[in-house]
Amino acid sequence: MVTGATGQLGRQFCQALAAAGAEVWVTDLEQARCQQLAETLPGPQHHGWVVDVGEPQSVQAVMGKIAARSGRLDILINNAGIAVFEPFEERSFADFMRVLQVNTGGTFLCIQQGSQLMRQSGQGGSIINIGSIYGVVSSDPRIYTDCNRKNSECYSASKAGIIQMTRYFAVHLAPYGIRVNCISPGGVYNRQGEDFVAHYSRGVPMARMGQEEELNGAALFLASEESSYMTGQNLIIDGGRLSW
């Protein structure tokens, strides 16, 4: 199951998992887009389903569908997330809390419900959370010269919470053979402004932003038995940005 599946990173994760032979549950907020993506994936039958990860009943509903139709859940990628972009001085408390509800709360709800399916199968599983380097360090306001999508304090807080929950659930789900890890990307190119791309790239040893497909290898590694002795870790994929 991949949440936020029709977005930039989610689509890549779905395609990589399907190509590796997984039966993929494509979940996001719009049924038509989920179903369309599911129908384009290679391999066995895939499924598109609407999920609002910030709503407990919505998460319960999709887990019930997976249990009834597939019988088990082996891999869960908690990718869904939202952000807000105005200056923090203008932030409403409702918007602040909504980001935490969807990003951190949604990750919690999916782990809570998804791990139950994994435990019932008796086969364990792999949970992969999607954090961010901004859950580890602050964004640099000097690089957002021509970019209206400025990073926010609540987005950073939500990703820091996800990274810490990764460690918590790694410990508490280990007795059931369930591994929990996190991928924290650096900046991924998504048609940002030229100045932003140039400023960001100057802060990266590899001198460029990441490409969305460059996260697939980490996701497949964590999803597979190749990482069978790995849990509670936060893989930072940032071209070396946090190394200096």
Q: Active-site positions? A: 155
Sequence-distant (≥ 6) Cβ neighbours of residue 103 within 8 angstroms: 80, 81, 82, 155, 158, 159, 161, 162
Name which of 53, 60, 77 is nearest 2 in CA terms.
77
Q: Are the CB atoms for 127 and 178 separated by under 8 Å? A: yes
- Cα separation, 54 vs 201, in Å, equals 33
Distance (Å) of CA 72 to CA 15, 52, 158, 210 = 20, 21, 29, 33
Distance (Å) of CA 168 to CA 33, 53, 87, 94, 226 = 33, 20, 32, 27, 22
Distance (Å) of CA 187 to CA 57, 79, 201, 225 = 33, 15, 9, 28
